[in-house]
Structure 1
């Protein structure tokens, strides 16, 4: 048995859910795929998959084997790539974690540009601000707002998010315009942004000259996702803090308007983080460089998305 080939076939079967689709994706006869998985199970003396007429179900041992196999195959692909032409043209799967706001407003609007530059990279995006076990989940890197506190992670600052306060015309029609940041803790309402690990709502920071205020916002609801946070602000339930390119469309349509404009709000650093135990791959490197350029483009006042199409693949 070619154990490496069997391992690759097993991983593909798990990802696609049955032998037929895996055989088609691998351009192999279905019998070959079946025989390789059976040989792998015999070699390991354990059942990795439970078969039914419609699908395959991964066993407990199979799930553990899949987790380690994907890591091994990714590292092997990266090793091969570092010693071949793939160094100039990175290849393979890149697993990135980020919030929905970063995906919606930074990455996805320019994804055709990324694909045209690096057509051999398959990008897997996980959405959320949760704590990630990078090694166990085979995550290559994450795009995060705020200064990372985990000392085991390698960090690279890729930009900053300058916050401003906004409210919907509906909210202002009921509550009026706040005159001072203190109003957001007393007579006005905000949308709370929940820090999921701590269970606490983030403070709002304001500065004007030598005057500085840290406000615990008065809120009716709090959320832990920026897309939902902006949607709540649009509903008229409270004042929000966001960066301009996250709410650009709403501002242009008049669905949000700036408030407390003579006050400076907090600036949130934006980082790419990845585990210190893992060598930074060429895939991660080109993705980070691309993110930096994307942020520079989006920061331009009259920024427009490039009209790009998906590159043709063989």
Structure 2
């Protein structure tokens, strides 16, 4: 992710290796080197990019602020600030190359004896998912009520 102005300064970035010529911001837990694993939209090609970031921190909110300030190119999961992409403040650098996605599941024994915190989180997640991710397909009533 980067601001449109940052991308304009950077020029064309077509493949992961091209990123090495730019200022990279990373989420990191105190490691000197970072790596991003990219998957091409065709699903067959994969590339891992290992680099030393210009700046690294273990706080996505802080990275979002740095990206918005135009400090460089970085990773920002869509769940952190989906509004920034929706409003065009941040854009994908290489839409044909993606970082891997991960599934998020809420697992519990059933509706009969669900704890109040679990029930409240489930209701919150069901309510917020369409707001945060309007382009995702809607859940069937079977899945959203289980």
TM-score (norm 1): 0.35
Mapped contact 2:3–2:89 kept (Cα < 8 A): yes
**Is 1:175 the equivalent of 2:36?**
no
Comparing both structures, which one devotes a greater share of its residues to helix?
1
Q: Deviation per CA, 1:193-247: give whole Å up to 9, x if none.
A: 112xxx2265212112321112224421111111101111111122122233534
Aligned residue runs from structure 1 range 223-234, under 5 A: 223-234=57-68
What is the Cα-based RMSD across aligned positions, in Å? 2.8
Q: 1:211 aligns with which of 31, 40, 45?
A: 45
> How far apart are the structure 1 equivalents of 2:129 and 2:90?
24
2:118 aligned residue: 285
Tell me: CA distance 1:271–1:223, structure 2 relative to 1, closer, same or farther (3 Å): farther
Mapped contact 2:2–2:90 kept (Cα < 8 A): yes
Q: Would you say how many aligned residue pairs link Structure 1 and Structure 2?
A: 127
Comparing both structures, which one devotes a greater share of its residues to strand?
1
> How far apart are the structure 2 equivalents of 1:259 and 1:237?
14
Mapped contact 1:203–1:215 kept (Cα < 8 A): yes
Q: Deviation per CA, 1:272-303: give whole Å up to 9, x if none.
A: 69xxxxxx97123213322441353233339x
1:265 aligned residue: 99
Bigger relative CO (Cα 8 Å, ≥ 6 apart): 2
> How far apart are the structure 2 equivalents of 1:261 and 1:169?
14
Q: Report the Cα offset of residue 271 of structure 1.
A: 5.8
> How far apart are the structure 2 equivalents of 1:180 and 1:203?
15
Aligned residue runs from structure 1 range 136-147, under 5 A: none
Tell me: CA distance 1:252–1:299, structure 2 relative to 1, closer, same or farther (3 Å): closer
1:246 aligned residue: 80
Mapped contact 2:24–2:72 kept (Cα < 8 A): yes
Larger Rg: 1
TM-score (norm 2): 0.69
Q: 1:190 aligns with which of 8, 17, 24?
A: 24
> How far apart are the structure 2 equivalents of 1:253 and 1:267?
22
Structure 1 gap ranges (5+) = 1-165, 274-279, 303-314
SS in 2 for 1:219: coil
Structure 2 gap ranges (5+) = 108-112, 137-146
> How far apart are the structure 1 equivalents of 2:105 and 2:58?
19
